[in-house]
Every structure is written in structure tokens, then in C-alpha cells.
């Protein structure tokens, strides 16, 4: 590829040639739109560290889902913010809990929308951990039963996809078995397979009021230093029945996204998390970066790294630009 025979800039001369040789393209098809649903009606409360993202009551969430659908986004992901929390997260698997009711309303208002639900009890426990706590430790196996019940009530309500984000061992297998026994053999499992113990979840924990009240999540979420282990997690979840696997967060873990994409044959999702979203907004508000350009470059990079789908709070904003 020696100069002057080869000049790379020949293929960068104008917009048309750039369009022809572009290797990665984003579209609204790539996005899953995360939403926070709370009790009440007419509630639309902005999350301070996440401008443009709200905690909404069901009626308002339905409005947002309709907008998402109009923009061509294929899926939404629901997080519940219950009024009541307790030690075992009972509201998480209440058949009439906040997410279960939201799923029913969304499915009746916008049946074409793929509805995914986050399966994890941390938003529902008073201690804020993703598992049952015994003697100050997060215990694995007793948590599996609760997660399975939670997933089942979501599927009963009509969820198309359940997405376990707790990082307990064996939860995908337990959930698959429970779903199948309940006749939900077509419910899809999107597992948060390589989920790292990350600082970038900060704004989410404010949104969902789910910060752990003691300790941290490092005994169940992955060590950010480990790449081989992420493949072990991913393979294990696929063996247990995960239909799709997720890497989370996204931008600091692009190498993980690429290695997962190269090593598995199931679809790979990447979660562009709350802190990644907040940073773009914070810098843009200060005039330090062009927010729109930084958003599009971030999402494009996640796709280029190998993600088939991107969970992002920018979903609607980016779709509007892509549809222009
Ligand atoms: C756990 C869960 C978290 C996120 C998604 N599911 C928080 C955590 O593990 O502490 C984070 C998402 C984000 O930061 O955008 N239910």
C-alpha cells in the first residue's frame, strides 16, 4: 500500500464517496430504549444527572413508547421504581407490580413494540443489593428462585424479552426452566452476561434509587480488569439458554464487545449506560464537546466494535437524527 500509488485520501474527497465506502451504519433498528416507570399518574420527573430522561408513571411511559415506535425503534426496556421496598424485594414479583402493569398497558396500546424487562431485585430491596442478604453477604442460590418468579410474572404480563441483570450464577438456567414450565417457551432471554462493577452506573442508581446501602457490587459484578472471564460468563449463559448476551457498560469495554462478538454466534447487545450518557450531556452543556456529534460517534463506535443492538438513553434523540 505504498505512497504515492495509494492515496487513502482519494476515498475521502466528498460525501458521496464517503457514503459508498462507509463500513458501519447506525439506524433506529439498532436501539433499545430504556425507561423508568413509577407509580402515580401524570408523573414525568426528570432525573437530574440524565437530562431528557424521566421517571414516568405508566400513562406517560405509554406516551414515550408511542413516540419510540413512531421513530422506528424496535424495543423498549423497562425498569420499575416501586413505592414499597423490603428485604426480599417482594414487589419485584408481584403479578400486579409496577412493571407488570406497565407491560400490560404498553402491550395493549402498542402491541407491535418489543417489550423487554430488567430482571433484578435491587430496585425493590431496602438494602439495594441484587440478591438476598444473609449475615451481611449476598447469597446466590436463594436469589435464583426470586429472579425466576420475577421473570415469570413479566412473561405472564406479556413481556417479549426478560433481561436478568443481577449477575447471580445460574440465573439464566433457573429462569429458562421456570419460563418453560409456565408455557413461556417463546419468551426471549437477553442476559446481562458480561456486566462489570462499574462507576458509570452512578446516575442510574439515583434514577432507580438503588444504591447498595452497605458494601458494593464487586462480589457479583465482574472485575473491570478481566477479559477472559467475560467469555466464560458469556459462554456459560448461552449454555444455560440465553438467546442474546449483553456487555455492559459499552464505551470503556469496546474490546470486550469485540471479543464476545468474535467468539459467540448469538446476537450481542451493548449497554451504553447512564454515566456514559451523563458525561456527554455534562460536557456539551459546558460547551466542551458538540453533544450531538459526540452522541452519534459514541453509538457508531459501539456498533463498529461488534454490537448488534445498543441499549441507550439516546435512542429517541439519535433516531430523530438518523430519520432526518
Ligand atoms: C441493576 C441494573 C443497573 C443498571 C441496569 N440494571 C444498576 C447496577 O447494577 O447498579 C445500570 C444501568 C445504567 O447505569 O444505565 N438492576
| Res 209: pLDDT | 87
- pLDDT > 90 in the chain, percent: 98
| Res 263: pLDDT | 98
**Protein residue with its CA nearest to atom 8 in ligand 1:** 201
188 C-beta neighbours (distance < 10 Å), count = 17
What residue ranges do the domains of the chain occupy?
A: 25-322
C-beta of 205 in contact with ligand 1 (< 6 A): yes
Q: Name the residue of 32, 203, 204 whose CB sits within 8 Å of the most ligand 1 atoms, as the mutation to test its pocket.
A: 204
| Res 85: pLDDT | 97
CATH superfamily, region 25-322? Aldolase class I (3.20.20.70)
38 C-beta neighbours (distance < 10 Å), count = 24
Ligand 1 centroid–CA 274 distance in Å is 8
**Structure confidence by residue, pLDDT tens digits, 273-324:** 999 999 999 999 999 999 999 999 999 999 999 999 999 999 999 999 999 9
C-beta of 276 in contact with ligand 1 (< 6 A): no
- For residue 48, CA distances in Å to 22, 45, 160, 207, 248 come to 37, 9, 30, 8, 22
Mean residue pLDDT of the chain comes to 97
> What is the Cα 283 distance to its own chain's centre?
23
**Structure confidence by residue, pLDDT tens digits, 160-194:** 999 999 999 999 999 999 999 999 999 999 999 99
**Structure confidence by residue, pLDDT tens digits, 253-276:** 999 999 999 999 999 999 999 999
**What is the average pLDDT across 30-47?**
98
Instruction: Assess whether pLDDT exceeds 90 at residue 1.
Output: no
**Structure confidence by residue, pLDDT tens digits, 191-237:** 999 999 999 999 999 888 899 999 999 999 999 999 999 999 999 99
- 276 is written with which cell numbers? 456514559
Amino acid at each position: 500500500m505504498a505512497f504515492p500509488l495509494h492515496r487513502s485520501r482519494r476515498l475521502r474527497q466528498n460525501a458521496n464517496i464517503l457514503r459508498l465506502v462507509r463500513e458501519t451504519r447506525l439506524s433506529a433498528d439498532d436501539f433499545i430504549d430504556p425507561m423508568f416507570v413509577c407509580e402515580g399518574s401524570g408523573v414525568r420527573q426528570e432525573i437530574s444527572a440524565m437530562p431528557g430522561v424521566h421517571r414516568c408513571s405508566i400513562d406517560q411511559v405509554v406516551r414515550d413508547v408511542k413516540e419510540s415506535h413512531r421513530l422506528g425503534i424496535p424495543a423498549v426496556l423497562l425498569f420499575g421504581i416501586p413505592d414499597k421496598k423490603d428485604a426480599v424485594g417482594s414487589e419485584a414479583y408481584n403479578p400486579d407490580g409496577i412493571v407488570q402493569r406497565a407491560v400490560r398497558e404498553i402491550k395493549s396500546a402498542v402491541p407491535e413494540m418489543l417489550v423487554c424487562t430488567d430482571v433484578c431485585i435491587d430496585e425493590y430491596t431496602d438494602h439495594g443489593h441484587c440478591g438476598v442478604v444473609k449475615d451481611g453477604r449476598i447469597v446466590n442460590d436463594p436469589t435464583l428462585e426470586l429472579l425466576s418468579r420475577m421473570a415469570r410474572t413479566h412473561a405472564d404480563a406479556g413481556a417479549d424479552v426478560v433481561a436478568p441483570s443481577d449477575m447471580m450464577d445460574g440465573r439464566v438456567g433457573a429462569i429458562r426452566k421456570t419460563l418453560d414450565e409456565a408455557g413461556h417457551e417463546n419468551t426471549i432471554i437477553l442476559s446481562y452476561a458480561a456486566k462489570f462493577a462499574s462507576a458509570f452506573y452512578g446516575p442510574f442508581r439515583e434514577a432507580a434509587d438503588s444504591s447498595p446501602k452497605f458494601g458494593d457490587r464487586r462480589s457479583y459484578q465482574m472485575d473491570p480488569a478481566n477479559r477472559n472471564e467475560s467469555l466464560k460468563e458469556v459462554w456459560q449463559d448461552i449454555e444455560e439458554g440465553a438467546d442474546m448476551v449483553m456487555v455492559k457498560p459499552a464505551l470503556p469495554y469496546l474490546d470486550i464487545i469485540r471479543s464476545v462478538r468474535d467468539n459467540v454466534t448469538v446476537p450481542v447487545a451493548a449497554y451504553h449506560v447512564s454515566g456514559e450518557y451523563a458525561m456527554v450531556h455534562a460536557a456539551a452543556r459546558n460547551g466542551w464537546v458538540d453533544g450531538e456529534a459526540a452522541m452519534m460517534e459514541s453509538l457508531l463506535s459501539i456498533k463498529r466494535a461488534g454490537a448488534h443492538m445498543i441499549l441507550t438513553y439516546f435512542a429517541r434523540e439519535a433516531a430523530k437524527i438518523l430519520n432526518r
